[in-house]
Structure 1
């Protein structure tokens, strides 16, 4: 797989030494699974913003939503994102709603690391999330309509913060990770050649 297989890529350059790769996209796009594969392939550390938040607080994201509502959760999420930006040589999977906060979008746009948008369609989200009982914004009925509404609002925001995007669809997570890794390695090669 080569860079030609990429769906989109900005022409902006970024520092590849100790590069962090940050995954954004809707819930059910495979950010955590793909992120773990990328980390393994590149020998990087892996962090999931929601999982790290649960480790720090000692409670589930669901409970944070119940007690502090979405607004309280978003404050904690921003702090965790800021903290993880100090990591080096890491792959960071973000929550689907990370982009709804302007401060988070600014952090992602100014990070200097590679932000990758994993796109997916609502039909694939419904398939992957049909047994999910954990995500606060999916509780109750009307999942399809809620996912469609979120997609309308959030998809342009994911686009605005990402330098690179792929459609995950039904693609095997390992194959998706290989696409991202090939891009990073190809960029490294081009940077080395241009500096000679």
Structure 2
């Protein structure tokens, strides 16, 4: 068991991190925070606008800072953006500060879930299938590197997937205390 104050959901876009995360937050009586929505709230701009104005590097800097703030805050279920794992420091912080669940979704499942979604900057141009396949090749090893648990939510509806995941979490995740979490973030990386 990995004792942690936060339950952190990582995985590709379209895996269900936000919808499953909201259900898990209700189940565990925790706050729910979507890091992309928090970035939008703090900046007053959409993720797409930030990408347009600052590029992906600018967005990733904002994402790293927001996630660090969330991990230092009250216990929560935190849904990350699909690319949050690209930053090594963010990966370390998430792994230290949370119990990390990799919501896995293959490309066909992502295409189905994202069919009507036009808000994803990385999918704005070109055929989505090769873009999602390339992202999976780059990011899947990073998700695996930090995951305490891998979970396949599809093809179930979010509420059913969350219930199955909550059952697994009851035996694999022990909510840590603030003091334990503080010690964990102060320990040197191995």
Query: Normalised by the size of structure 2, how large is the TM-score?
Result: 0.87
- Does the aligned pair in 2 maintain the 1:34–1:174 contact within 8 Å? yes
Q: Tell me how many residue pairs correspond in the alignment.
A: 174
* Distance (whole Å) between structure 2 residues aligned to residue 187 and residue 69 of structure 1: 38
Instruction: Say if 1:121 and 1:169, in contact at 8 Å, map to a contact too.
Output: no
Supply the distance in 2 between the matched residues of 1:151 and 1:142 (Cα, whole angstroms).
15
- Of 19, 22, 44, the residue aligned with 1:58 is 44
Q: Does 1:94 align with 2:80?
A: yes
In the alignment, the residues of structure 2 paired with residue 107 and residue 124 of structure 1 have an alpha-carbon distance, to the nearest angstrom, of 29
TM-score by length of 1: 0.84
Q: CA RMSD in A?
A: 1.4
2:154 match: 169
Q: Distance in 1 between matches of 2:107 and 2:173?
A: 34
Aligned-residue offset at 1:188: 6.9
* Cross-structure match for 1:22: 8
Trace 1:8-19 onto structure 2 (pairs within 5 A).
Answer: 13-15=1-3, 19=5
Gaps of 5+ in 2: 175-190
| Structure-2 separation of matches of 1:110 and 1:90 | 14
Q: Residue 34 of structure 1 aligns with which residue?
A: 20
Q: By how many angstroms is 1:157 displaced?
A: 0.5
Q: Which secondary structure state, in structure 2, belongs to the residue aligned with residue 62 of structure 1?
A: helix
Q: How has the CA–CA distance of structure 1 residues 188 and 26 changed in structure 2, closer, same or farther, with 3 Å as cutoff?
A: closer
Any unmatched runs of 5+ in structure 1?
1-12, 190-196
Larger radius of gyration: 1
Once the two structures are TM-superposed, the CA of residue 172 in structure 1 deviates from its matched residue by 1.8
2:107 corresponds to: 122
Q: Match for residue 132 of structure 1?
A: 117
Q: Which runs of 4+ in 1 moved over 6 A?
A: none
Deviates more, 1:179-188 or 1:42-51: 179-188
Q: CA deviation at 1:187?
A: 4.4
Report the alpha carbon displacement of residue 147 of structure 1 after superposing the two structures with TM.
0.4
